[in-house]
Structures are given as structure tokens and as C-alpha cells.
């Protein structure tokens, strides 16, 4: 089904919207007026400005405190990676990108880049690759790779994450991947190094759509000091006193190993999702899976003789609740050798789990980043035969909770582009073909789509999906 209305509606909306306050360019090789560093451009930018970042490796630590946009050329082309200092140790004070104190009513967007650590035989403190702290405005993260590729040290289990969100009113993550593959030093090991979560969300409201979140493995140590345990694995997602929705998202805990032959106590591998005092809505859809870390055969790690453990898919404490769609998969980690498999759920007394008999709505914009003049497909999934009321708008608004309806509507009626119905087939799917007009005014634009599913007497809202128009 083709949607030519999108072209007309976008032209109307963009004509009514004010232009970006300014576009700033970051290019290490271009010279003035382009900026050589991202931080210099951020410092010069005003609220509403957009910073376009050319391909390149930017050895910086960037701090952002105002509502601007950072738009890279894509995770494979634009990378923020601080340079190692002090003999291989990175200054533990700040990750590659820090967002903090974003005022209410302002919107910040980061898209199209990779944030990573540098590994060259050194050690990186257990820091996030991107952190959002004390923000009352709206944060949009899309088309990002967060790569914690160095050894870590110094963190208690699940006390931080490769993506860290704390005290934030509204965070939308679409197509964000956290990579946490590197384990302990294969030669000397590190003592008691705990893995960190793929995403750590505290005192916040967050939506995850089409994300891949991996907890960092615990780091095994040589059995030199048996009384010091190896590190625990990080959860795929750790949620503390927060409201979180996950759609089309996979989250897997990091593995942990220990040396039982030398008297070390067992180290715990990470759950797919660990919730403390939180409300979680597991929407489901394609690739939706929460899985605990699986055990591996003895001695399969970097140190012969190590033992690994399996972890639960979901762990809820007494103050947490989980609403799960019928197609949202949860798996415990598989066993290996004498290590048993883990159950899918670990529910503390007083926790609440609600398994719905219906599927919940989810959507994806394919591809999520598209050049002007190119087609795209909007993919809908949900309850078979249901009606989805789709709403597409230019991003700027805040969330609007609707009593009696599952989820929160992020619609900005001032920039509404479309509000059209789509009927899902017997398999619970529908696709709408559309595209972005071949007009330079659309370069770098962000669109957000969300749908309301009507199935009988039930009304449910999807998590939002973000469309980036490549600059």
C-alpha cells in the first residue's frame, strides 16, 4: 500500500514549522567555518540548532546541557572514542558522551554514530559509553552503537550500564545497540571485576524500540586469591524505580565464571532483565527476547578450569510489575555440564506478572535512516485483525499519558503529518510503503511514528519509532 499523502503532508507541515535555528558542521579536515571538534560546536550552538558531524574518528569526551541535535553520518562512519591516557587508563570522570541537566520543554537528539572505548592492552573503568543524567527534557537516541570494548574494573554488579539513564523524564531509544563482548585479561586476569548492564535505567521513563542490549560479562580472575570472587555478569537491562517499555528489543545478560577448585564462591551471570521497584511493559514484536546468560562448558573461558553459570530471563523484586504481550519471549539461560539451566522467571513475593492473551502493537521504519527521494517501509505488528491508528509527526512534543490506555502517547498535534488507519492481517502484520520527497528541506529531519491498536474493547499504544532523514 503506497502512501503519497506523506509527501503532501510533510510539505505542509515543514512549511508551517520554523526553520532550524542553525546548522553547524563538524569536519576535522574542512577548516573554518566548520568546527574541528564536536564539543566546540556544542559550545557554540544555541537551543534548536543542529550539528552535522562528518565521517571521522573524534577523540573527545562531549558534554551536552541544552536542546540541540547531533547527527552523525552513521555508526560505521562517525565515531566518538576518547584517547587513552596515563599508560592505558582512561580518565574515569566522563564517558564519550554525557547529556545532563536538559531543561524541561527542550528536546535533544543524537543519531548516526558510534561511541566506544579504546582497547590497547589497557583497562577502562566501568563507565557508560553514553550517559543521560538529571534531564527534564526529551532525549531521542537512534541509530547508535555503544561499544564498551575494553576491560572494566571497579563497578559493583549492575551499578551502571553501557547506556546509563538516571533521573530523566523521557528517553526514546530506537535502533540502539550496546556491545559488551570483551572479558577478562587472558594473561593475568583481574580480581572481582563485575560486568555492567547493557542499559541501566534509574528513576526515569524510557522506551526501547528495535534495540539490542547486551550485559557485559563478569571478568574471571586467576585463582591466586581464592577468597576474592570473580565478577558477576551484567544484566541486559537493569531497571530501578522506573517505567520502561521494550518493543522488538532483545536483551541478554553477560556471563560470569569462577574457579570452584580453588574455593572461590560462585559468580552470578546476568539476567536478560532485572527490575527493582519498576513497571515494565514488554511489547513483543520481531526479535523480542529477554534471555539470561547461558552457562558454557567448564574451562571454555580465558582461564582453564573456570566454571560459568546460567541466569534467569527476568528477575522482578517485590516492588516490580511486568506486563507481557503474548508474543514476547522470555528464556532462562541454558545449562552446560553440571551447571543447570535457569528458569525464565524469578519473581519475588509481592511482584506482579501479567501475561496478556493478545499481542501488543509494535512498528518499525525500514530503513530507519533514509536519504531524501528514497522509499521506506513502515512495518506494523500486533493482534491479528486489529486496527492500528497510525500517527506520524515531526518530533518535538512531550509524552501524554492517557488513562485507561496501555502505554503513553508522544503525539505532538502541532506537527502531525498523518493519522491514518491500518488493518493487520490474520498473521498480525501489515506494511505501508512510503518515502521521503526529493527536497533538500528534508535533510536531517527527524520523524516519529506511533500507533494505537484497537482490538475489541482493548486499546494499546506502541512504543515510538524514529525515522532519520540522512543529511
- Looking at residue 93, what is its pLDDT? 54
- pLDDT at residue number 374: 84
Cell of 415: 506537527
Q: List CB contacts of 158: < 8 A, sequence separation 6 or more.
A: 194, 196, 197, 200, 232, 234, 235, 238, 270, 274
Looking at residue 417, its pLDDT comes to 60
CB 399 within 8 A of CB 205: yes
Phi, psi dihedrals of residue 348, rounded to the nearest 5°: -75, 150
Helix (H) or strand (E) holding 41: helix 38-44
Res 125: pLDDT: 56
Strand partners, 368: none
- Grid coordinates belonging to 220: 574471571
Q: What is the SS3 assignment for 341?
A: coil
Residue whose entry in the numeric block shows the C-alpha cell 580480581: 191
- Give φ, ψ of 438 to 5 degrees: -80, 75
Tell me the CA distances in angstroms from 364 to 174, 222, 230, 247, one per residue in order.
9, 45, 40, 10
Q: Which of 35, 67, 32, 81 lies closest to 54 in space, CA to CA?
A: 35
Q: Are 409 and 453 in contact (CB under 8 A)?
A: no
- Note the pLDDT of residue 124: 53
φ/ψ of 432, rounded to 5, equals -120, 125
pTM of the model: 0.89
Q: Are 192 and 228 in contact (CB under 8 A)?
A: yes
Could you give the count of Cα atoms lying within 13 Å of 372 in the half-sphere of its Cβ? 13
The closest of 162, 94, 169, 173 to 135, measured between CA atoms, is 169
Q: Show the cell assigned to 252.
A: 541478554
CA–CA distance, 50 with 71 (Å, rounded to integer): 7
Q: Which residues of 422-432 are buried (b: 16+ CB within 10 A; e: fewer)?
A: bebeeebebeb
Q: Which residues of the chain carry a pLDDT beneath 70?
A: 1-21, 84-93, 118-126, 149-158, 180-193, 219-230, 260-265, 299-305, 394-405, 409-419, 471
Q: Which of 372, 450, 455 lies closest to 413 in space, CA to CA? A: 450
- Residue 244 and residue 203 in contact, taking contact as beta carbons nearer than 8 Å: no
Relative to beta strand 307-308, strand 69-71 is: unpaired
Report the distance separating Cα 222 and Cα 190, nearest Å.
8
Phi-psi region of 118 (alpha: psi -120 to 50; beta: other; left: phi over 0): beta
The angle subtended at Cα 200 by Cα 67 and Cα 170, nearest 5°, is 35
Amino acid at each position: 500500500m503506497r502512501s503519497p499523502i506523506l509527501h503532501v503532508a510533510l510539505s505542509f507541515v515543514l512549511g508551517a514549522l520554523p526553520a532550524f535555528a542553525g546548522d553547524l558542521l563538524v569536519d576535522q579536515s574542512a577548516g573554518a567555518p566548520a568546527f574541528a571538534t564536536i564539543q566546540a560546536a556544542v559550545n557554540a550552538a544555541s537551543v534548536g540548532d543542529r550539528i552535522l558531524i562528518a565521517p571521522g574518528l573524534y577523540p573527545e569526551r562531549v558534554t551536552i546541557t541544552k536542546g540541540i541535535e547531533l547527527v552523525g553520518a552513521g555508526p560505521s562512519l562517525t565515531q566518538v572514542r576518547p584517547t587513552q591516557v596515563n599508560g592505558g587508563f582512561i580518565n574515569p570522570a566522563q564517558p564519550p558522551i554525557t547529556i545532563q541537566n536538559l531543561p524541561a520543554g527542550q528536546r535533544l537528539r543524537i543519531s548516526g554514530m558510534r561511541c566506544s572505548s579504546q582497547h590497547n592492552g589497557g583497562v577502562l573503568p566501568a563507565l557508560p559509553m553514553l550517559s543521560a543524567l538529571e534531564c527534564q527534557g526529551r532525549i531521542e537516541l537512534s541509530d547508535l552503537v555503544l561499544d564498551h570494548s575494553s576491560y572494566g574494573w571497579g563497578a559493583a554488579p549492575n551499578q551502571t550500564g553501557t547506556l546509563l539513564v538516571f533521573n530523566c523524564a523521557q528517553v526514546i531509544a530506537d535502533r540502539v545497540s550496546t556491545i559488551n563482548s570483551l572479558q577478562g585479561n587472558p594473561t593475568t586476569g583481574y580480581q572481582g571485576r563485575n560486568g555492567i548492564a547493557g542499559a541501566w535505567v534509574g528513576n526515569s521513563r524510557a522506551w526501547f524500540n528495535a534495540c539490542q542490549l547486551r550485559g557485559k560479562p563478569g571478568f574471571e580472575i586467576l585463582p591466586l586469591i581464592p577468597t576474592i570472587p570473580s565478577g558477576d555478569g551484567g544484566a541486559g537491562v537493569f531497571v530501578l524505580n522506573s517505567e520502561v517499555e521494550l518493543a522488538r528489543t532483545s536483551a541478554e545478560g553477560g556471563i560470569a565464571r569462577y574457579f570452584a577448585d580453588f574455593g572461590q564462591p560462585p559468580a552470578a551471570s546476568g539476567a536478560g532483565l532485572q527490575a527493582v521497584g519498576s513497571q515494565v511493559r514488554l511489547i513483543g514484536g520481531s526479535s523480542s527476547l529477554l534471555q539470561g546468560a547461558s552457562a558454557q562448558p567448564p574451562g571454555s573461558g580465558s582461564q582453564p578450569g573456570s566454571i560459568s553459570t546460567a541466569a534467569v530471563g527476568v528477575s522482578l523484586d517485590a516492588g516490580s510489575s511486568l506486563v507481557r504481550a503474548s508474543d514476547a519471549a522470555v528464556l532462562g539461560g541454558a545449562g552446560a555440564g553440571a551447571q543447570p539451566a535457569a528458569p525464565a522467571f524469578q519473581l519475588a513475593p509481592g511482584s506482579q506478572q501479567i501475561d496478556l492473551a493478545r499481542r501488543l502493537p509494535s512498528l518499525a521504519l525500514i530503513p530507519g535512516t533514509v536519504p531524501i527521494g528514497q522509499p521506506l517501509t513502515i512495518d506494523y505488528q500486533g493482534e491479528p485483525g486489529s486496527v492500528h491508528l497510525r500517527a506520524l509527526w515531526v518530533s518535538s512534543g512531550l509524552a501524554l499519558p492517557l488513562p485507561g490506555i496501555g502505554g503513553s502517547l508522544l503525539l505532538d498535534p502541532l506537527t502531525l503529518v498523518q493519522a491514518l488507519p491500518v488493518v493487520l492481517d490474520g498473521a498480525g502484520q501489515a506494511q505501508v510503503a512510503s518515502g521521503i520527497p526529493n527536497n533538500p528541506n528534508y535533510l536531517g529531519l527527524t520523524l516519529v511514528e506511533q500507533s494505537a491498536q484497537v482490538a475489541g474493547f482493548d486499546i494499546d499504544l506502541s512504543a515510538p519509532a524514529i525515522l532519520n532523514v540522512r543529511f
